[in-house]
Amino acid sequence: MRVVAQISDLHFNGTDEHRNRSAAVFDYVHSTTGIAALLVTGDLADEGLPAEYAEAAATLVTDIPTLTLLGNHDDRGAFTAQRDGVATTGPVNSSLLLDDLLVLALDSSIPGRSDGYLSDETLGWAREQIVAAGDVDVLVSWHHPPADIGLPHMDARRLNDPDRAAALLQEHPNIVGVATGHAHTPAATVFAERPLVVAPGVASTLNLPFEGSDWVNSTQGPGLAFHVIDDHRLTTHFRVLSHW
């Protein structure tokens, strides 16, 4: 059994509120035991500014193996400059291979746009990683949900051409599920006959149409997800913090 923690949509912007919400979920992850990996599934920054990535790097300090992918609010050049010391503009993809689990973090961001797309380069790289890992379970993640989840404003900005992503899943039955962010609401559905899990937002939670006319649900604290992968089965548990 492996446990992967996921946090998403932190939107560092220099404010105490966003920094404190992020620190709270990080503290909660560190208060648990047995976390094999941490996924940060995009929108690390609010405007993609260098100062926001510096703030994130100073706040998100951990010994847990961490994969960070990019969302529509992120900037590839500013992120890689902070992480690597050199700015690059290509897709930011990463992987983590444990004894019995491969975790893939794919870049679905489109520079300058709010919707998403998995490029040929990214999908080809993902296929290579899966084949090279051999007979292990695979958890795949990217920022934009590839299916509607009942939140119209965000459904209009989801992953484009989802059939391309579905083909990846269909080619590799050892993929146990897909973990995304972007929508600022915890959600679970099915995509390409696999579990599709959307992490809660750290910076904020968005209301569903039947929850009221306000865009942001101000009653909700920062949230996170714990993905339990055991015997080729994905089970996800959500947590929303009441004190932060």
Going edge to edge, which strands form the sheet with 175-180? 94-97, 101-105, 137-141, 175-180, 194-198, 187-191
pLDDT at 154: 95
Q: Which residue positions in the chain have pLDDT lower than 70? A: none
CATH of domain 2-240: 3.60.21.10
How many of the other CB atoms lie within 10 Å of CB of 37? 20
Give pLDDT tens digits for 215-242.
899 899 999 999 999 999 999 999 999 8
Closest to 11 in 3D by CA, of 76, 72, 82, 90: 72
Listed by start position, the domains of the chain span 2-240
pLDDT at 218: 86
pLDDT at 34: 92
- Total-model pTM: 0.96
Give pLDDT tens digits for 95-115.
999 989 999 999 999 999 999
By the 8 A CB rule, do 105 and 39 touch?
A: yes
